[in-house]
Amino acid sequence: MSKKKKRALWVFGDYRNYFQNRVTLQLLSRARELAAKIDAEVCAVVFGYWTDEWVGDALSQNPTFCGVVGEYIAHGADKVYLTDHPRLAAYSMETYALLMERLARREAPEIILIGATTFGREFAPRVAKRLGTGLTADCIGLDITGEGLLLQVAPSFGGNLVAEIVTPDHRPQMATVRPGTFQEIPHDYVRTAEVVRVPLPKDLPADRVRLIRSEHRPMRGRKIENARVVVCGGRGMGSKKKFLKLFELAELLNGEVGATRPVVYADWADHDALVGQAGKHIKPQILFSFGISGAIQHTAACNDAKFVIAVNKNPHATMMKKADVAIVADAGQLCTALIQELKRRIR
């Protein structure tokens, strides 16, 4: 074959907790748009066991029953690299990092995108380290520059800034992206793709970290990521007692409560409620923001809110500048007044 090898854009197939975690599908969707700009193919990389059980006949069968390989093809992968082996039955950090490193050395992809799940956030830096390349964590946007480089848009270091980052000389260019950043494309079960089976290396060492037990914890019924109304509170609420009032307000508004990092650290709210670069991304119709100054790690995760009502004693707080309605008042007092008024109006 004299045909020049096509450039490739890889997406790591993070299928664990599949029905709650659609970040791989979201990345495949964005990857297709990026790949079109650099004439590359989109490849999904899957390590596991029984992941392809249905891939052979997924195309004609009930979509509910197709394996993750079939699902990635239906969502836009042009090619799937698959290592399927009983030893990969559970997610295993060292083993997966080694497999990814070897495959990337062999195939030399231009770009590797990884979902910023708990696993992905540990996996990506390990793979980047092994490959001697750079990595941008928690991108809020991805594009291709005029020179054909991956443009990695990420909130930057502490300040209220967004940085555009490139990896000029090292390959692959790597980035992690939070779930919910991009939209998946509808599945297309008539798409076909090449499945490249990669055998498990014979010299694969045992993982030095042993999984003793793994228990699935179901997610809470309602999810803040999909809530139409979110009530977020920050340190400006003043105390845990006052912060808990936000739950009453959220209940009246059929919404969910979100929190900033200082609030989570102070144990006023669970880590689950963290809205920010290292927590949940939200996209409500209405965001109520109480006593939040607006550090970039927080605001980057609520840029998709349609309408923002911010309450803060300090009219110059970043969150107040970003709001549709900026209310200059004590966050706790206003929360109480709002609860009273809502109770009066909802009958």
Q: Which is nearer to another protein, 84 or 138 (CB)?
A: 138
Q: What minimum distance in Å lies between the beta carbon of 99 and another protein?
A: 15
Residue 314 in the binding site for another protein (CB under 8 A): no
Q: Which is nearer to another protein, 197 or 211 (CB)?
A: 211
Residue 325 in the binding site for another protein (CB under 8 A): yes
- CA gap 32, 14 in Å, rounded: 17
Binding test (CB under 8 A) with another protein, winner from 45, 77, 103, 326? 326
- CA gap 125, 12 in Å, rounded: 13
CA angle 186, 189, 192 (to 5 degrees): 115
Residue 178 in the binding site for another protein (CB under 8 A): no
- CA gap 150, 292 in Å, rounded: 33
Positions in 260-279 near another protein (CB under 8 A): 261, 265, 267, 271, 277-278
For 307, the 3-state DSSP assignment is: strand
- CA gap 135, 119 in Å, rounded: 15
Binding test (CB under 8 A) with another protein, winner from 42, 74, 82, 135? 135
Positions in 69-88 near another protein (CB under 8 A): none
Size of the site for another protein (CB under 8 A): 102
Q: Which is nearer to another protein, 170 or 241 (CB)?
A: 170
Residue 37 in the binding site for another protein (CB under 8 A): no
Positions in 103-132 near another protein (CB under 8 A): 117-119, 121-122, 124-126, 128-130, 132
- CA gap 321, 299 in Å, rounded: 11
Residue 336 in the binding site for another protein (CB under 8 A): yes
- Stretch (H or E) spanning 326: strand 325-328
The sign one gets for the Cα dihedral 141, 142, 145, 149 is positive
For the chain, the maximum distance between any two Cα atoms, rounded to a whole number of angstroms, is 76
Q: What does the block give as tokens for 131?
A: 């490959």
Q: Which is nearer to another protein, 202 or 213 (CB)?
A: 213
Residue 241 in the binding site for another protein (CB under 8 A): no
Q: Which is nearer to another protein, 97 or 198 (CB)?
A: 97
238: left (phi over 0), alpha (psi -120 to 50) or beta: left
Binding test (CB under 8 A) with another protein, winner from 308, 314, 316, 343? 308
Q: What minimum distance in Å lies between the beta carbon of 67 and another protein?
A: 19
Do 292 and 134 form a contact (C-beta atoms < 8 A)?
A: no
Q: Which is nearer to another protein, 67 or 115 (CB)?
A: 115
The sign one gets for the Cα dihedral 180, 235, 154, 173 is negative
Residue 151 in the binding site for another protein (CB under 8 A): yes
Positions in 188-227 near another protein (CB under 8 A): 208-219
